[in-house]
């Protein structure tokens, strides 16, 4: 099953067509995409019996974040081996977890304001929680996942590394618009193997990142086991699972985003989203 936030309303989608959930369910489920995750089990049972006969055409320019108001949004640092190598850090023994504050969440077609001269891209596969998770084992973890979407963990490397001795990952990755997700949410059963999803990022059409979630140091089930052993994961929460190698700050010379750039982020069976940028006052000077 695939859901989207289309023109501010929750829809089921298939092959560029959609059904409006509130209308098709005669009001049983709300049009508010954020609200659906608290009734995820009932919703998926209902959704499985819906027909796409008479469905309308999806307008990609109207898509918003498939989980627009998560209570919690987690980021995982250095979770791909080649990215750990390019950063020059040791392979982590436990997941490196930070917060991307939820006010940074935006949609798949947003224009993002740059907060400074050293803003970077990080394509990631993002988990959306469907059933609350507390002390969940890795073996049971996928049953708590609503689905997967594509994300960009946009990062202001100046904010992030200020002060250098105590990096502020959470702040550097939480400027408004720095957590775009989309274009749709795809349930785990739609993948041949939900632990092997290819993802990548293009900068102005040129490949800069490409990998697969099979290369994650901590897999999605391991991340859910670890996080839910410490706190409660709530319906609609996001986990940005980490970025592969190829970020701009580690290029030689470093390459950062400008208002004339476009980044395209994709993952197999989920789709593609593209973002452009405007220069905020910190960039215009």
Rg (CA), the chain: 18
- Out of 67, 79, 159, 243, the only residue in the binding site for Zn ion (CB under 5 A) is 243
Residue 121 C-beta: closest distance to Zn ion, Å: 10
Residue 95 C-beta: closest distance to Zn ion, Å: 12
CB nearer to Zn ion: give 99 or 259: 99
Cα four-point dihedral sign 127, 130, 132, 134: negative
- Scanning 95-103, 146-154, 174-182, 245-253 for contacts with Zn ion by CB under 5 A, the matching segment is 146-154
Phi, psi dihedrals of residue 23, rounded to the nearest 5°: -70, -45
CB nearer to Zn ion: give 122 or 237: 122
- Scanning 26-34, 65-73, 115-123, 160-168 for contacts with Zn ion by CB under 5 A, the matching segment is 115-123
- Out of 113, 153, 156, 237, the only residue in the binding site for Zn ion (CB under 5 A) is 153
Q: What residues contact residue 183 under an 8 Å CB cut-off, 6+ apart? A: 4, 60, 63, 108, 149, 150, 270, 271, 272, 273
Residue 2 C-beta: closest distance to Zn ion, Å: 24
Query: Would you call 237 helix, strand, or coil by DSSP?
Result: coil
Number of residues that bind Zn ion (CB under 5 A): 3
Whether the Cβ atoms of residue 144 and residue 26 lie closer than 8 Å to each other: no
Residue 160, Cα to own-chain centre: how many angstroms?
19
CB nearer to Zn ion: give 4 or 151: 151
- Scanning 66-74, 132-140, 152-160, 266-274 for contacts with Zn ion by CB under 5 A, the matching segment is 152-160
- Out of 122, 215, 225, 237, the only residue in the binding site for Zn ion (CB under 5 A) is 122
Verify cis geometry, omega within 30 degrees of 0, for the bond prior to 284: no
Whether the Cβ atoms of residue 105 and residue 181 lie closer than 8 Å to each other: yes
b/e per residue 71-93 (b: at least 16 CB within 10 A): ebbbbbbbbbeebbebeeeeeee
Task: Kindly state whether residue 156 participates in binding Zn ion, applying the rule CB under 5 A.
Answer: no
The secondary structure of residue 216, as a DSSP letter, is B
- Scanning 4-12, 61-69, 116-124, 142-150 for contacts with Zn ion by CB under 5 A, the matching segment is 116-124
List of residues contacting Zn ion (CB under 5 A)? 122, 153, 243
């Amino acid at each position: 099953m695939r859901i989207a936030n289309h023109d501010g309303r929750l829809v089921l989608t298939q092959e560029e067509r959609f059904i409006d959930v509130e209308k098709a369910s005669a009001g049983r489920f709300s049009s508010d995409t954020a609200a659906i995750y608290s009734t995820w089990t009932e919703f998926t049972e209902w959704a499985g019996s819906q027909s796409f006969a008479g469905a309308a055409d999806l307008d990609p320019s109207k898509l918003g974040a498939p989980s627009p108001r998560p209570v919690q949004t987690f980021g995982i640092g250095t979770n791909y081996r080649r990215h750990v190598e390019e950063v020059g850090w040791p392979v982590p023994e436990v997941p490196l977890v930070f917060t991307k504050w939820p006010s940074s969440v935006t949609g798949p077609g947003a224009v993002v304001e740059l907060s400074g001269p050293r803003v970077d891209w990080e394509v990631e596969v993002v988990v959306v929680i469907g059933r609350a998770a507390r002390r969940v084992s890795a073996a049971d973890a996928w049953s708590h996942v609503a689905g997967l979407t594509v994300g960009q963990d946009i990062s202001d490397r100046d904010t992030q590394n200020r002060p250098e001795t105590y990096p502020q990952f959470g702040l550097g990755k939480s400027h408004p618009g720095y957590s775009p997700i989309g274009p749709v949410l795809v349930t785990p059963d739609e993948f041949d193997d939900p632990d092997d999803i290819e993802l990548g990022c293009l900068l102005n059409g040129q490949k800069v990142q490409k990998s697969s979630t099979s290369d994650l140091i901590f897999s999605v089930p391991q991340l859910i086991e670890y996080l839910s052993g410490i706190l409660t994961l709530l319906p609609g929460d996001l986990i940005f699972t980490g970025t592969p190698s190829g970020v701009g700050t580690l290029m030689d010379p470093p390459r950062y985003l400008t208002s004339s750039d476009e980044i395209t982020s994709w993952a197999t069976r989920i789709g593609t989203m593209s973002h452009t940028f405007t220069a905020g006052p910190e960039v215009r000077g």
